[in-house]
Amino acid sequence: MRKPLLFLLALPFPALSQIDSIVQPPDATQQVIEDFLQNTDSEGAFDFNTIFENLEYYLERPLNLNEAGQDELEAFGLLSDIQVLDLLNYRQLAGDLISIYELQAIPSFDLLTIRRILPYVAVRGGLDDYQLPLGQMLREGRNELYLRWSRFLETQKGYRPLAEGETGSRYEGSPGQLYVRYKHSFSNRLSYGFTAEKDRGEAFFRGSNRRGFDFYSAHFFLKDYNRTIKAIAIGDFAVSFGQGLILYSGFGAGKSSFVMNIKRTAQALRPYSSVNEVNFQRGAAATLAFGSHLELTALASYRKRDAAILEPDTADVEQDIRQISSLDLDGLHRTPAEIAGENTVGQATFGARLRWKGRRGHIALNALHERIDAQLRPRPQPYNLFFFDGNRLSNASLDYSIIYQNFNFFGETAVSGNGAMATLNGLLMGLSREVDLAVLVRHFPRDYQALNPNPFAETSGARNESGVYMGLEVRAHANWKLSAYFDAWQHPWLRFNVDAPSRGYEYRARLTYFLKRNLEAYVEIRDEVKEQNIDKMEGKNNFTLPNRLFQTRLHLSKRVNKSLELRSRIDFGFSDNEINDIQRGFVLYQDVLFKPIGFPLSFTTRIALIDTDGFQARFYSFENALLYAFSIPAYYNRGTRFYINLRYRGIRNLTIEARFAQTYWRNQNAFGSGTEEINGPARSETGVQLRYVF
């Protein structure tokens, strides 16, 4: 009998016609970005700004869950690795899904997951398994044009002229940030376009940027052209090999509330159109298939990089090549010092991946060679004693993913040119219909060297770290889910701002309650203890001591009707160590999301109350913003945060968006420091964006 009871479990899912055709990241993905910045101690704009645009394609042409393979399901981005495993196992045992409601019968597919993916998936129709002439794909398809402007309203120090007798640098350009992007796409098989951006403070058609924008990017990408040509990339593109030990371009999430998402699953080649000015390749690449099991990916790239140039050593008569102390990563060119290092060195990258893929997994050999036309000489400091020093670096690795019943074994082992070997290995287990478990073990020696690694880790760089991660998800009831992880690590050598070998641990637990599509509530605790340099508040000495960061959260999301959603959250926590006073704080906010059906104007808004003792007791929160312009500020000090976004869609093919946001501090009369400083208790930001589809 063919699963007749499944239809008795049918939920009142929303119809696809009620889904906005302009998509912001789903709630789950927003939380992953929050966690990413929390773990990296960053704040502000999230510059991998187009990583979720494939969801727009799936709104119009839903992913066929009956025919999508493991690679496509993993690249989809809304399913955990264990959910992909469970779906593949279910299809093998029970055959094709006959209704979307049948997803409820798959282990690990809770109601939250089904609600999240429903607008983007289907169980009928086929994938694009036919060949079309390239000329037709170039002529037909969808064109999108984005124009965006934003700025802070208050004057920052970098834009004020130097006072008499004052020294320092000032920004060369205006305070406005400009963004232009054009993209042509045909299905998900062809994409070409360009991106141009000017950051705040950078010159525009004058000074160091007489050709207009500070950053230009262009790409051409062809996917699944025929059985042999699986992908071709020309111009700017992203490359990801294995678990990120030698090369991983783009966004790689780390520890998050989605405890099973620990495996790197990005496609080897992807088009690149984000505004991050560092994490991409420029040149050409291709993936070719030889039969149904073997694939070869090859790439060649050359691009200019920002760098900190070292002055020549007059005593070194053998020095015949320029020397740099570091490759800069921020992509900002506002002050004379930043402009001096712009595009000063070239970096050539050559790589290949040979991958054997079977029905239940893959194994791949990866090789990479990097060449810089300058000698990279890190400034002599104890913490960087084992950093790469030279102008040529080679890496090789072996990565694998094997599915056996309800187990997914995966990992990568890599070696750098100096012989150091790094390894990362994990296991995803579906222990029962209600319980999933993830385990990941990593070991990165202090002398392992790679220029662009991005594996799952506590710190960046894939070096000087060993650790063990365990994640657990329990779905004991249809409306309840418990997610938890524990991670412990150690750094056998010094790190930047950590003057001794160190260690740490972190645990996190979230209990979620959800009711159909109308209500979601969760309570969460997070506790992290790690050794780091701690400055004594009274005095100039610092000490390497354990610092504890404890946070707890209560979040409630209620869909009042088809047009109105309310979200409320309260965060509370503290930061404490042995030599300084404890810093406590809380943040309380209320969101209103109003998207009326049949009316062209919609809005989202937030009011947040902030009361913390300082930056150490900060909280990160994702903010809805202009499309593909994410904002994740750190909330701290005492004051308020407010924003409102307006979206108008009353003109055919045209969307107009506007945003205003302001932070007000009542315990401080200045924002920022250095050239970013604002005199006054408020910092206000405004922006507008036009999106034209034709």
Over residues 85-101, the pLDDT tens digits come to 888 888 888 888 888 88
Using a 10 angstrom Cβ sphere, with 0-12 exposed, 13-18 middle and 19 or more buried, the burial of residue 12 is: exposed
Distances (CA, A) of 500 to 474, 491, 495, 531, 533: 39, 9, 8, 9, 9
**Pick from 181, 271, 185, 269: which is nearest to 221 by CA?**
271
Please determine, for residue 311, whether its predicted confidence score (pLDDT) is greater than 70.
Answer: yes
Please determine, for residue 22, whether its predicted confidence score (pLDDT) is greater than 80.
Answer: no
pLDDT of residue 25: 55
Please determine, for residue 127, whether its predicted confidence score (pLDDT) is greater than 50.
Answer: no
pLDDT of residue 388: 93
The percentage of the chain sitting over the pLDDT mark of 90, rounded to a whole number, equals 59
- CB-based contacts of 437, cutoff 8 Å, min separation 6: 428, 429, 431, 470, 471, 472, 473
Please calculate the CA angle 291-294-296 and round it to the nearest 5 degrees. 115
Pairing of strands 323-327, 361-376: parallel
pTM of the model: 0.87
pLDDT of residue 165: 81
Q: What's the pLDDT band for 338 if we cut at 50, 70, 90?
A: very high
Assign 46 to helix, strand or coil: coil
Assign 242 to helix, strand or coil: coil
Distances (CA, A) of 335 to 107, 201, 339: 55, 8, 6
What would the pLDDT profile of 654-684 be if each residue is shown by its tens digit?
999 999 999 999 999 998 888 999 999 999 9
Q: How far apart are CA 77 and CA 37, in angstroms?
A: 18
Sign of CA pseudo-dihedral 15, 20, 22, 28: negative
pLDDT of residue 290: 95
pLDDT of residue 319: 58
> Per-residue pLDDT averaged across 107-114, rounded?
81
Please determine, for residue 251, whether its predicted confidence score (pLDDT) is greater than 80.
Answer: no
Please determine, for residue 317, whether its predicted confidence score (pLDDT) is greater than 60.
Answer: no
Beta bridge partners of 464: none
Please state which of the ranges 257-266, 414-423, 545-554 shows the lowest mean pLDDT. 257-266
**Pick from 373, 418, 414: which is nearest to 393 by CA?**
418
Selected residue with higher pLDDT from 684 and 515: 684
pLDDT of residue 18: 35
Residue pointed to by tokens 């399901």: 73
Residue pointed to by tokens 């260690």: 503
For 492, the token pair is: 């056998």
Q: How far apart are CA 217 and CA 627, in angstroms?
A: 19
What would the pLDDT profile of 627-659 be if each residue is shown by its tens digit?
877 778 889 999 999 999 999 999 999 999 999
For 388, the token pair is: 């790469």
Beta bridge partners of 487: 469, 506
**Pick from 684, 564, 567: which is nearest to 622 by CA?**
567
Please state which of the ranges 222-231, 443-452, 540-549 shows the lowest mean pLDDT. 540-549
Residue pointed to by tokens 């109350």: 609
pLDDT of residue 256: 85
> Per-residue pLDDT averaged across 195-216, rounded?
95
Contact by Cβ (8 Å): 199, 241? no
Please calculate the CA angle 441-464-262 and round it to the nearest 5 degrees. 35
Q: What is the mean pLDDT of the chain?
A: 87
> Per-residue pLDDT averaged across 145-153, rounded?
96
- CB-based contacts of 595, cutoff 8 Å, min separation 6: 20, 563, 602
Q: How far apart are CA 29 and CA 36, in angstroms?
A: 11
pLDDT of residue 672: 85
For 238, the token pair is: 């992203």
Sign of CA pseudo-dihedral 149, 153, 156, 162: positive
Distances (CA, A) of 611 to 152, 214, 338, 372, 572: 23, 38, 35, 48, 10
Q: How far apart are CA 555 and CA 524, in angstroms?
A: 9
pLDDT of residue 50: 63
Other C-beta atoms closer than 10 Å to the C-beta of 458 total: 21
Beta bridge partners of 404: 407
Q: How far apart are CA 159 and CA 157, in angstroms?
A: 5
For 247, the token pair is: 């090369």
Q: How far apart are CA 99 and CA 249, in angstroms?
A: 37
What would the pLDDT profile of 474-495 be if each residue is shown by its tens digit?
998 888 999 999 999 999 999 9
For 132, the token pair is: 């079309």
Q: What's the pLDDT band for 321 if we cut at 50, 70, 90?
A: confident
